[in-house]
Structure formats: C-alpha cells, structure tokens
Structure 1
Amino acid sequence: MANARYDEKQLKDLLLQMMETELGGEKIYLAALGCAVNKDLKSEWEEYLKETKSHQNVVRTTCERLGINADEASPSRDVVKHIGQALVKAMELAKMGGDAGAAQIVACECVVHAETKDHSNWELLGKIAEVASGETGTILKEAYSRVEKDEDHHLYHTQGWCRELSIQSLGMPAVLPPPEEVKQVETAIGASRAEQQREAML
C-alpha cells in the first residue's frame, strides 16, 4: 500500500463535492427538522445539524491547507448541489401534503439519501489518506479522524429511524427510539446486529 497512487485532480474534485455535500447537508437538516414530529428524532437531528456545520469547517480548512479554493465550482459539485436542492424540495412537498407522519418519514428518507453520499465521501477520503504521504497524508488523516465517526452515526442511526417509523406507519409494532440509537451503533456491523435484535426489543 505504501507505493499506492491516487489522482490528485480527483482528490480535489472529491473535496469540492464534500464541501457542497456539507453545505447542502445544513439545508437538508433544517428542512428535516421542520418535518420532525418525534421529539427524540428532532433532538438527534439538531445534534447532527451542529456536527454538519463543524464538518463544513473541517473540509474548508482541509482545502485551504492543500491550496484548494473550497468555493470553486465544478460539474460534479453542481450535481451534488442539484440533488441537495431536490431533497429539500421533496420535504417541502411532503409537508404540504398535510400528513405530518408521512412528511417525517420522507424527511428520514431524504436524510438517509444525503448521509449515504456524505458517508461515501468520507470513506473515499479515508482511502486516500491511507496511501497519501507527507504533509498531504497528515492533513487528510487529521480531517478523516475528526469526522468519520460522526458520519457513521448519522447514517446508521437515521436508517434505523427511517425503518422503524415506516414500520409504525404500516400499523405494526416499532422500536422507538430505534435499536441503533439504544445500542449506540457506530459501525455497519453494529447496525446489522441492532436490526437483527429489534424483535427482542418490542
């Protein structure tokens, strides 16, 4: 792995996508909070919103240290922005439907969409950090170590909320807060185990 290489142009593009993902994430969480009915979920998303703002600073600082303009436009960044705006629009549309419970589920689905991209971004940055050498390697490792655990938490916990609220809407017994929340899941394996144990928690 020590001799592994990466494309510096693509690293820059990834960081620009990450910047847009975190900026869009702030808008997505604000819209999602407007749809949240469950108090525990609302509290959870309020914390994620704070962390997302912190992640914006981490990405911007990382870009600055690498000599990249964090506000530079790129075609892939435009796509990320478009998707983020579409997710906000979807939540607004769901809220206009007048069914608060349904809007809350749509908000969960939108957050899962956004956090799947966000999680993938940081996972890819972590892969580059493993092979990057010198100052670049140090900078990327620092950024990854500050954010990676938050991203796992955001994705796996919201997936749990989305599943359980959807089950509840179908008139079946749900585990709320979800098992991922109760068991403080931070990994994909932990999330899988938590879901498998949900029946015992009903």
Structure 2
Amino acid sequence: MARSHANSKQIAELLYQALETELGGVLIYQTAIRCAVNDDLRKEWQEYLEQTKRHVQVVERVMETLGLDSTVMTPGRQVVQNIGTSLVQAMKMAIANGDAPAAELVATECVCLAETKDHANWELIGHIARQSASPEAKVLLAAYESVEQDEDHHLYHTKGWSRELWIDYLGFPAVLPPPEEIRHVETAIGASRAEQSRQKML
C-alpha cells in the first residue's frame, strides 16, 4: 500500500549518498581500467565508466528538480566518500606491487564492493518511487528506470568476472568471459542460474 508520509529528510540523505557513490564510481572505474589485464574486461569497464558518468548527471538532475544542493556533504555522504577513496587506494597499492593479474583481481573485488552499495542505493530509490505517494516519487521513478539495467549489469557481470578470474588465477579451468556475460544476465536469479551453469560451459 502506498504511503503519503515518506521521510523527505532521509530521501534527501539517500540521494546525497547515491550521488557520492556515483562520483566515487567514476574514480573507481578509471583506476580499475588501469588494473585490467583481460581485454574483454577492460572494454566492459570502459563502457561502465561512461554509464556511471551518465548516472552522476541523472542524480544531479533529480536533486536539482527536488531543490537539493548537490554540494552538501552530509555525515553519511562523507562515509561513502571515504569508502570510495579507500577502494581507489587499494587498487593503486595493488598496481604498485607489480603483480598485474593480482591487481586485476583486487580491482574486480573493489568494483563489486562499490557496485553493491550503488545497486542498493538504486533499489531503495526504486522502492520509494513505487511505494510512496510523495511528490518526489515520479521524479525518482524516471531516474530509477533510466539506470536500473545498467546497475544490474555492473554488479552481476563484475561478480562473474571476479569469480572466474580468481578460479583461473588459482589454476583451475575458468569460463572467460563469465557465464553472466554470455547469458546477458540482468537479475539476481539470472546471475545465480548463470553461476550454476558454469560447469557445463567449461
């Protein structure tokens, strides 16, 4: 049942965190691309970088429409910024160690961590849009629908890359590109099915 008493203050906080997550995502992908050894993965991340830049613009437009100052740094946003900076530093540390395949693995894990937060942000934005009768709902729904598929790809496909590259690094047969990529996964259920099918694809 729709509610008409959505907490506008907390919706604003979610948007501040979503913006910072996307801004951090740009830096994370720029660094992750430097770590990529696999050409297909590098190409994938270059595409995700451009999509993430667009997502920054999507959130900024939402905030402008709702009368929010996108430069405000809330305590929650500061935490998100710190986590993003830490992920970039982790990848730079891995690059400095000189083991390119290991740095690529670190990058896949950092992207997965960042995209888990990013995906959660957008799921919450979608929830607000579908469940709330607030004035913000229509604006949020349009934004959510414009990025939902991108976010699913970023998270589920990179998880697949991380798993398969780790398996390869450990010396076992891997499916590269991963099943998630081959099956064009767009949902959590699809990602689970793709992982379960990997043995048949070896």
Cα distance in 1 between the residues matched to 2:39 and 2:8: 44
Give the corresponding residue for 2:152: 152
TM-score (norm 2): 0.98
Cα distance in 2 between the residues matched to 1:14 and 1:135: 16
Listed as ranges, the gaps of 5+ residues in structure 2 are: none
1:68 equivalent in alignment to 2:74: no
Listed as ranges, the gaps of 5+ residues in structure 1 are: none
Give the corresponding residue for 1:95: 95
Give the corresponding residue for 1:29: 29
Per-residue CA deviations over 1:26-64 (Å, capped at 9, x if unaligned) read: 000000000001000000000000000000000000000
Given that residues 40 and 177 in structure 1 are in contact (C-alpha distance below 8 angstroms), is that contact kept between their aligned partners in structure 2? yes
Q: CA deviation at 1:132?
A: 2.5
Cα distance in 2 between the residues matched to 1:128 and 1:141: 8
Q: CA deviation at 1:168?
A: 0.4
Cα distance in 2 between the residues matched to 1:31 and 1:3: 42
Give the corresponding residue for 2:198: 198
Give the corresponding residue for 1:109: 109
Give the corresponding residue for 2:46: 46
Given that residues 5 and 131 in structure 1 are in contact (C-alpha distance below 8 angstroms), is that contact kept between their aligned partners in structure 2? no
The 3-state SS of whatever aligns with 1:107 is: helix
Per-residue CA deviations over 1:60-98 (Å, capped at 9, x if unaligned) read: 000000010111110000000000000000000001111
Give the corresponding residue for 1:82: 82
CA RMSD of aligned residues (A): 0.9
Query: How much identity, in percent, do the aligned residues show?
Result: 57
The 3-state SS of whatever aligns with 2:136 is: helix
Give the corresponding residue for 2:131: 131
Given that residues 161 and 177 in structure 1 are in contact (C-alpha distance below 8 angstroms), is that contact kept between their aligned partners in structure 2? yes
Per-residue CA deviations over 1:112-171 (Å, capped at 9, x if unaligned) read: 000000000000111110122364211011000001111011000000000000000110
The 3-state SS of whatever aligns with 1:34 is: helix
Cα distance in 1 between the residues matched to 2:69 and 2:110: 28
Q: CA deviation at 1:6?
A: 2.2
Give the corresponding residue for 1:178: 178
TM-score (norm 1): 0.98
Cα distance in 2 between the residues matched to 1:87 and 1:135: 36
The 3-state SS of whatever aligns with 1:172 is: coil
Given that residues 29 and 45 in structure 2 are in contact (C-alpha distance below 8 angstroms), is that contact kept between their aligned partners in structure 1? yes
Cα distance in 2 between the residues matched to 1:155 and 1:56: 17
Q: CA deviation at 1:109?
A: 0.2
Give the corresponding residue for 1:165: 165
Could you tell me which amino acid in structure 2 is paired with residue 40 of structure 1? D
